[in-house]
Structure 1
């Protein structure tokens, strides 16, 4: 598998606190990379570093081998990096339809509404009036519509019912399969459906972070076997 985007010896500091301690984190094209860890482990910071929303104190970010460490987040976004944070991921004063229009030319939202049909009746509603789960569906719809080559999602299923969460992970694995996208998700626990070597034929790689460092890298079954010991 070719590496689409990666952190190389990345260090990130928030004031005097170092949140990432020389992290190396490759994200292959056409695969789902799962960053596991508790709150404060560094998994969210790793996503932000890949997206360009926090600067590196040291190390590099590479995109297909090219150094993009100093490339601003909005330029990375135009180059196919789609970032979906866990909070403030939608524009609350825009309607649902207007939020979707930011991710696609025109008004064809078919692909997003196929994954999240509940959004259909909500198209004229202001995004800020939606429930947490509905806002999460709207935010994830950007990844469906944007045809991004890198999809970075912090806690994709946050606030979703189990069936909608399952549909979300199916959508993400299909993005990796169909578009050869590098899908990187941050979770506290290994999501259902990603426990095997592959999910819907797509390779799954797990990295566990603890206190700003990677303490495990491997396949899901290796992680679950290690956790059971």
Structure 2
């Protein structure tokens, strides 16, 4: 694979020092990963950053806040998308985006939770496709070349083969100099070669390797001995 650029377009997303701090006891600041983002900022590495964590750990909330900081529609699409259904994302935090000189401004957000509304907004026959094929079609149509791309739980719509196609697409984008932030429950997507992995939980955000993830260990144990998990469900 061709080496990724070592100069990320977006270097860091941090709190605006001139803004009043949001109340620490009000959501989303009660989410440890969000509180850490506000206190320390988040450096975005070249290539891919993968967020892994349990349900309600704050992965999606973090992705939505990053999208708003980049000027994106938090329900999906680009900065110019006029898409709004049932609002669930947090109010924007006063965040500053630090960019490298001349960095591309193109960015796009794909959220599995709001894909149906995005299909309707975009038209172009996406509703004629299966959920997974529609997602992969939007991915191919909208995520091209250098830019910043946020994907929230893209694995939810995809089979094993579809996830392999997704990983191939993510690798291709990284080769082109794109930056990616991917929140996932999939050990396959989390194994994206060259990705920086951040595990999200009560501790906030912490670096991890694929082999260290509880996600990886749980799936490995289940596939080796499914009965050891299933017997506890009865």
Question: Structure 2 CA distance, aligned partners of 1:157 and 1:147?
Answer: 21
Alignment of 1:197-212 (within 5 A): 199=193, 203-211=194-202
Aligned pair partner of 2:13 in 7, 15, 20: 7
The answer to whether the 8 A contact 1:86-1:154 is kept is: yes
Question: Structure 2 CA distance, aligned partners of 1:28 and 1:182?
Answer: 8
TM-score, scaled relative to structure 2? 0.61
RMSD: 3.5
Is residue 84 from structure 1 mapped to residue 84 from structure 2 by the alignment? Answer: no
Q: 1:156, CA displacement in angstroms?
A: 1.9
Q: 1:143, CA displacement in angstroms?
A: 4.0
Q: 1:139, CA displacement in angstroms?
A: 2.8
Q: 1:39, CA displacement in angstroms?
A: 1.7
Unpaired runs of at least 5, structure 1: 67-77, 99-125
Is residue 27 from structure 1 mapped to residue 44 from structure 2 by the alignment? Answer: yes
Q: 1:9, CA displacement in angstroms?
A: 5.4
The residue that corresponds to 1:127 in the other structure is: 126
Q: Which runs of 4+ in 1 moved over 4 A?
A: 9-13, 221-224
SS class of match (2:156) = coil
The answer to whether the 8 A contact 2:13-2:98 is kept is: no
Q: 1:210, CA displacement in angstroms?
A: 1.2
SS class of match (1:128) = helix
The residue that corresponds to 1:115 in the other structure is: none
Aligned pair partner of 1:48 in 40, 44, 64: 64
TM-score, scaled relative to structure 1? 0.63
The residue that corresponds to 1:217 in the other structure is: 207
The answer to whether the 8 A contact 1:136-1:158 is kept is: no
Q: 1:131, CA displacement in angstroms?
A: 2.4
Deviations 1:128-155 (A, max 9, x none): 34322122223322344x4341111112
Distance 1:39 1:84, change over 3 A: same
- Aligned pair count? 177
Structure richer in helix, relative to its length: 2
The answer to whether the 8 A contact 1:207-1:217 is kept is: yes
The residue that corresponds to 1:190 in the other structure is: 187
The residue that corresponds to 1:74 in the other structure is: none
Q: 1:79, CA displacement in angstroms?
A: 2.1
If you compute each CA radius of gyration, which structure gives the higher value, 1 or 2? 2
Deviations 1:90-133 (A, max 9, x none): 332654xx3xxxxxxxxxxxxxxxxxxxxxxxxxxx32343221
